[in-house]
Structure 1
Amino acid sequence: MRDLAQIQQTEYDVIIIGGGINGAGVARDAALRGLKTILVEQNDFASGSSSWSSRLIHGGLRYLEHFEFPLVRESLKEREILLRIAPHLVAPLQLTIPVYRDCAKRNSKADRSRPYWQIWAGMMLYDLLSFDKTLPVHRMLPQAKFKQLFRTLEAENLVGGSQYYDAQVALAERLCLENIISAQNAGAIALNYLEVMELPLENSRITGVVCQDKLTGQRIVLRGSPDAVIINTAGPWIDQVCQRGSKAGNQFTIGNANKNGGTKGSHLVVDKFPGAPATTLYVEAKSDGRPFFIIPWLGKYLIGTTDLSYQGDLKQIKADNHEIDYLLQEVNSVIPTANLKRDDVRFTYSGVRPLPNSEGKKPGSITRKHIIFDHHQEGVDNLFSLIGGKLTTYRHVGEEMVDQILRRMKRSPRSCQTAFLPLPGCILPQDKRIQQTINEYGSSLSIETIYYLFSVYGAIALEVLALTKENPTLGECISPDLLDIKAQIVYAVTKESAHTLVDILRRRSTLAINGHYGLNLLPVVTKTLQQYCGWNLQECDRACADYRFYMEYNCIPDYQLCQQLRKFD
C-alpha cells in the first residue's frame, strides 16, 4: 500500500525525480550507501526511454568514429559488470557486420559501408578497449567465408564482414525494476504515478518536492533533510521538471531549461522471416548509410532504430508510416528473401533519446555521453540534472551521481557496492534451485513453463510460483499458445507496483507483443484481476479503454488500427 501520510512525515537525504533506469540506478546506489532515499516517477517505472531502446548492452562501436574512446571504454567495462551481476537478464550477443564496397557515387545518397580495413581497425580497437572482457574476441570474415555463412544476404559489392560480441538485455524494463527492488530492499522508497508539480526554492535551496498522486489526485510534499539533494533523472522530461520551480508562490524556470535535445527512435517487431539470420545484423542502410540492427528477440525479430529530431508530445510517440516503410525497405535490401511488408509488423514502439541539446548537429552525431549538470551555477545549490546517458552505463551514472551527492552534503565517502552486488533475480542456468523447483512444481506445471519463468524473473520466479501453491488456478496459462501463467498478473499488481494493464502487459511481462498487441488477452487478464486483486468491473472496463488508447497512440501502426481494434471490441 502507498502510505502517503507516513511518507510525508519522513525527511529524505536524496529525492530522485524519474524512475527510468538511471533514476533506479541512483536510488539503488544511494540506499546501499546509507542515504535516506525516495524516488518518484510520474508514470510507471521504465515507461520512458528505458523501454524504447534497442535493448543492447554495448560499448558503442560507432562511437569510435567520433573519437569518444572514454565513453566506449566506460560502456565496455559496464557491460562486463552487468554480465556478472545480472546474468539472468543480460546475455552475450553475437553481432555480424557485412562490409560492402563503396558504391555511393552510383547507387545511394551516402556511403553504404566503411571499408573492410576500417572495420578491421575498429574491431582491433574495440577488443583493445575491452581488455578485461570475458566475451570472445572478434573475427574477420573474407568474402568467400562470409557468403558461405550468410547465403541470404545481398551479395552485390560484398567484400566480407566481421563478427564480434556485445550483450543484450531482452527485458530492459525488468532490469530497471530489479534495480528499484534492490533499492527498496536497502531501505529506499520508490513510487510510480507520483508527478512532481512544484520545486519550492528558498535561499538558493529546494526545500521539498510537491507531488500529486495520479492514482488518487492527492497532493503531498516530500521533505528534505537540512542538507538534502534533489536529483533530476527525468530523461526527455528534465527540462519540464526544471520548469516546476517556485518562489513565494510564483512559478519560474530553474536556469536555462533547454538542456535536452532528444531524438526519436522507432523499432518494429516481426516474426521470423525467410532468410532471417541467427545472429544480430549490424548494417548500414542502403538509402542513407545510417546504421541499424536486425536483432533476434524473444522468438521474433527487433528492427531499428531511426534517429530523427523530435519536438512533439512525449506522452504519445509512435512510429509513423514513413519510418515503418524505411525500416522494412532496408531489411529487404540487405536480405532480399525477407520480402517484408506492412502486414508483417506485429508491434512497434517509439521513444525519445535523452540527449544533450546540440543545435545544428545531425542526430546520429550527437554524443551519447552523459552530463551531470550542477544547478549551483544557476543559483540552486542542491539540484543535479542528468543530461543524456544510455542503458549500458546506468550503474556507473548512479555511482558518479552518489559520489557528487556525498560531496555536496559534505559527508564522508562511502564505498559503492553496485559493481559487485548481484541484482535480486541473479541466478545462473546451472543453479540447483532450478532443478529443485522442477521437482517441486513439475506435477502441476510444465517444465517449459518453469524454465520460462526463470528466464523472465530469475530467482524471483520462486516467489511467482509460490502463488500457485496458495491458488492452483494461478498456474493456468493465460493463453494456450503462451507459457505465461495467471500468477504473473497477480504478482505484478501485489509485488511489483503495477497499476494499469499497460504496466502488466507491456512492462512486467511481454504479453503485449504476443498475438494482437495483447488485446485478445484482456478478458482473461481482467477476470484474474477481479478474482484475485480486488478490481471491480468498472475499474477493469476503464483499464481496458486506457490500454486500447495506449496501443492505438503508441504501438499499433495507423494502417492496422481498424483491423486490430474492431476485432476485439
Structure 2
Amino acid sequence: MRNFKAIENTAFDVIIIGGGINGAATARDAALRGLKTILVEKDDFAGGTTSWSTRLIHGGLRYLEYFEFHLVRESLHEREVLLHTAPHIAKPIQMTIPIYRSGSRSYRIIQAGMILYDLLSYDKSLPNHRMLSKASVRQLFRAIDSEELTGAAQYYDGQAEHAERLCLENLLDAQQAGATVMNYTEVVAIETEQNRVVRLTCRDTLGGETFQLQTHEQTVVVNTSGPWVDKVCGLNPSQLSKGRKIGGTKGSHIIVDPFPGAPEGALYVEAKSDGRPYFIVPWLGQYLIGTTDERYDGPLDHIKASDQEIDYLITETNRVLPAAHLTREDVKFTYSGVRPLPFAEGKKAGSITRAHILHDHTEEGASNLISLIGGKLTTHRQVGEEFVNAVFRKRKQAIPACPTHKRPLPGAILLDDPRVEELHARYQGRIPAPVLDHLLGMYGARTEKLLALVDEQPELGEPIVAGLLDIKAQIVFAAQAEMAQRFTDILRRRTTIAMHQKYGFGALPVVADVLRTYCGWSEERCDRNIQLYHSYMTANCIPDYQLQAGALPTPLQTATASSD
C-alpha cells in the first residue's frame, strides 16, 4: 500500500514528472547528491519513448551530416560510460553499412564520416572502424543485394536489449539512495503563485485516490515527460502552455524470427525508396527492424505501427536481403512511439536536431520549473547530471560532484566475474545454463536475489512459456521487488515475453496463477489485468491487418484458461 499521507507531509527538494529513462537518471543523480527526491509517472516506468526505441547505445553517426559534432562526442562518451557501469545491459554490437552507387552517401563520404567518428570517440574501448571492399562484403554477407554495391563500412556501437530494465535500474539505485519513485501516479494539476510552482495535484491511477505535493522555497520541479511535455505544461491554467515545445516524430519497429539471409551482425542500411537510414538488428534470438521517422501530431497514449509502415520496413528489408522474402505473416510484434524532439516547423523529420534542451520556465510564470525537450536513451546519464546541476543553481547552492560517471548500476556484472561461475555451480541441475545466462543478461548481479525465490519455492524455477527462457520466479520478483503493478509491466517491460511469442497471450494464465498463489492477487484483480492487457496489445502492438483477421484469443478465453 502506498502511504499518500506521508508523501503529502514530506518536503521534497526535487519533484520529477515522468518515469522514462531521463526522469529515472535525474532521480538517481539527485538522490545520490543528497536531494530529497520524488518521481511520479502516470503509467509504468519506461512505458513511453524509452520502450519504443531501437534499443541502441550509439554515438549518432548520422548526426555528423548535420554538423552536430558536440552531440556525437557527448553520445560516444556516454556510450563508453554505460559499457562500464552497466555491462550486463549495454553491450558492444558490430554494425555494417552497405554502400551503393545509387545511395545518397558515397564510399568516400562514409569513410570520412567513419574516420571522424573514431576521432570523436578517442576514449573508447571498442575497435576502430574498417572499410570493406565489394568482394569482402559479398563474402561476409552472401545474401546481401550486390547490385551497385561498392563496399561497406564496419564499426562498433552499443546495444541495450532490455532498455526498460536500464531505466528500472536507474530507479532502483535512486530508491536505494532515498528517492521516492511511484508509477501509475498522474499529475492532474499544477498551481503557480508569484512566479513559482507551489502545488501539484496527483492521482493514483490504480485506486483513484488524489494527493498533493507541496513545494517549499527551494523545491525545483523537473518535467521529463517526453512527448507529453506540452500536455504537462498545459495542466497549469496560466502561461506555461504558451508556445509549443515538442514537435515529435513517430518511429515504428517490427520484430521477426530469423529469416533466410539474416545477418549475424547488425545492418545499418539506407532505404531505397526514400533514402532514410534504418537498422536490421539481431535481438534476443530474433531481429528488430526499424525505425520509421514521420511527423506526428496525434494522440500520445495509444500509438501503433500502421500497416503502411510495416509494409515499408518489410519491403526495404527484402530489397537489401532478397532471400528474406519477408511478408506480413512473419511479423511477430510491432511497437511504435514518438520522439520528443523540439518543435521545428517546416523542417524535414530526419533533420530535426537530436540534441536535448533544458527549458527554463521563469519567463512563463514558473521560476522553479524546468522541462526537458529532446533527450535519448544513450545520453540519459548526461541529462540527469545537467538537470541536477541546474537544480543546485536554482537553489543557489554549490554544485557537488556528480557520482554517476563511474558508479555502477545495481546489476552491473561482467561475464567473467567469479560470481557468475559460482551461480552456475550452485544451480547446476536445478536451473539450465542457458536460462541462467539469460537471467544474468537481464538482472546481472541481482540474479542471486531472484534465484533466492527458487531456493524457497523450487517450482518457481519452472518456465513461464514453453520454448522461452523466462521462469516463474521473475513474475514474483517483478511484483515484489520491481514495482510491477500490471500484467503489461511484467510481460512487456520487466521481461520481454510479450515480444517473443504471440504477444504474450499464452503466458497470461501462468502469470495470473503465480500472482494469486505467491503474491496474494485476487481473482478479480487478475481478470481485470487480463482485460487491460488485451486492450493494451490491441491499441499499441497488434497490427490492424492481424486484428481484422480475428485469429487472436479474447480476454474471456484467457481469463477462463487462467482459472482452470
Shift of 1:208: 2.3
Corresponding residue of 1:279: 265
SS in 2 for 1:405: helix
Whether 1:262 aligns to 2:248 is yes
Q: 1:498 aligns with which of 466, 484, 488?
A: 484
State the distance in 1 between where 2:120 and 2:244 align: 34
Shift of 1:446: 1.6
SS in 2 for 1:11: coil
Q: 1:462 aligns with which of 438, 448, 463?
A: 448
User: Superposition RMSD on alpha carbons, in Å?
Assistant: 1.1
Shift of 1:378: 1.6
Give the residue type in structure 2 aligned to 1:266. Answer: S
Corresponding residue of 1:74: 74
Deviations 1:450-488 (A, max 9, x none): 221111100111111001112111111112211111110
Q: 1:436 aligns with which of 422, 446, 456?
A: 422
Give the residue type in structure 1 aligned to 2:182. Answer: L
Q: Is the 8 A contact 2:238 2:365 kept in 1?
A: no
Whether 1:394 aligns to 2:399 is no
The number of equivalent residue pairs is 555
State the distance in 1 between where 2:34 and 2:210 align: 28
Corresponding residue of 2:61: 61
Shift of 1:537: 1.3
How does 1:68-467 map onto structure 2 within 5 Å? 68-102=68-102, 112-245=103-236, 251-467=237-453
Corresponding residue of 1:106: none
Shift of 1:223: 2.2
State the distance in 1 between where 2:545 and 2:82 align: 39
Whether 1:46 aligns to 2:46 is yes
- State the 4+ residue runs in structure 1 displaced beyond 4 angstroms: 566-569
Corresponding residue of 1:488: 474
Whether 1:538 aligns to 2:524 is yes
State the distance in 2 between where 1:218 and 1:175 align: 30
Q: Is the 8 A contact 2:223 2:370 kept in 1?
A: yes
Q: Is the 8 A contact 1:99 1:113 kept in 2?
A: no
Shift of 1:498: 0.5
Shift of 1:225: 2.8
For structure 1, which segment, 214-223 or 65-74, has the greater mean C-alpha deviation from structure 2 after superposition?
214-223
Q: Is the 8 A contact 1:240 1:257 kept in 2?
A: no
SS in 1 for 2:553: helix
Shift of 1:441: 2.1
State the distance in 2 between where 1:318 and 1:22 align: 23
Deviations 1:328-387 (A, max 9, x none): 000000000000000000000000000000010110000000000000122211000000
State the distance in 1 between where 2:243 and 2:495 align: 35
State the distance in 2 between where 1:208 and 1:470 align: 45
State the distance in 1 between where 2:161 and 2:242 align: 37
Whether 1:26 aligns to 2:26 is yes
Q: Is the 8 A contact 1:116 1:160 kept in 2?
A: yes
Whether 1:517 aligns to 2:503 is yes
Calculate the TM-score normalised by the size of structure 1: 0.96
State the distance in 2 between where 1:320 and 1:449 align: 35
State the distance in 2 between where 1:314 and 1:375 align: 23
SS in 1 for 2:322: coil
Calculate the TM-score normalised by the size of structure 2: 0.97
State the distance in 2 between where 1:512 and 1:29 align: 31
State the distance in 1 between where 2:253 and 2:553 align: 21
State the distance in 1 between where 2:432 and 2:123 align: 40
Give the residue type in structure 1 aligned to 2:7. Answer: I
Shift of 1:219: 0.7
Shift of 1:428: 0.5
Runs (5+) with no aligned partner, structure 2: 559-564
Shift of 1:443: 3.2
Q: Is the 8 A contact 2:192 2:365 kept in 1?
A: no
Q: Is the 8 A contact 1:267 1:349 kept in 2?
A: yes
Percent identity reads 56
SS in 2 for 1:230: strand
SS in 1 for 2:316: helix
Shift of 1:253: 4.6
Q: Is the 8 A contact 1:270 1:302 kept in 2?
A: yes
State the distance in 2 between where 1:281 and 1:52 align: 19
SS in 1 for 2:153: strand
Give the residue type in structure 2 aligned to 1:7. Answer: I
State the distance in 2 between where 1:446 and 1:143 align: 43
SS in 1 for 2:440: helix
State the distance in 1 between where 2:498 and 2:375 align: 27
SS in 1 for 2:95: strand
Deviations 1:148-200 (A, max 9, x none): 21111111100111100110000000000000000000110000000001111
Give the residue type in structure 1 aligned to 2:92. Answer: P
Give the residue type in structure 1 aligned to 2:33. Answer: R
State the distance in 2 between where 1:149 and 1:439 align: 38
Give the residue type in structure 1 aligned to 2:305. Answer: A
Whether 1:559 aligns to 2:550 is no
Shift of 1:433: 1.1
Q: Is the 8 A contact 2:14 2:38 kept in 1?
A: yes
State the distance in 1 between where 2:6 and 2:50 align: 30
State the distance in 1 between where 2:125 and 2:430 align: 39
Q: Is the 8 A contact 1:255 1:375 kept in 2?
A: no
Runs (5+) with no aligned partner, structure 1: 103-111, 246-250
SS in 1 for 2:217: strand
Corresponding residue of 2:561: none
State the distance in 2 between where 1:442 and 1:434 align: 12
Q: Is the 8 A contact 2:14 2:220 kept in 1?
A: yes
SS in 1 for 2:191: strand
Shift of 1:38: 0.4
Give the residue type in structure 2 aligned to 1:10. Answer: T
Shift of 1:255: 4.6
Corresponding residue of 2:493: 507
Shift of 1:259: 0.2
SS in 2 for 1:428: coil
State the distance in 2 between where 1:458 and 1:222 align: 35
Give the residue type in structure 2 aligned to 1:409. Answer: R
State the distance in 2 between where 1:357 and 1:468 align: 50
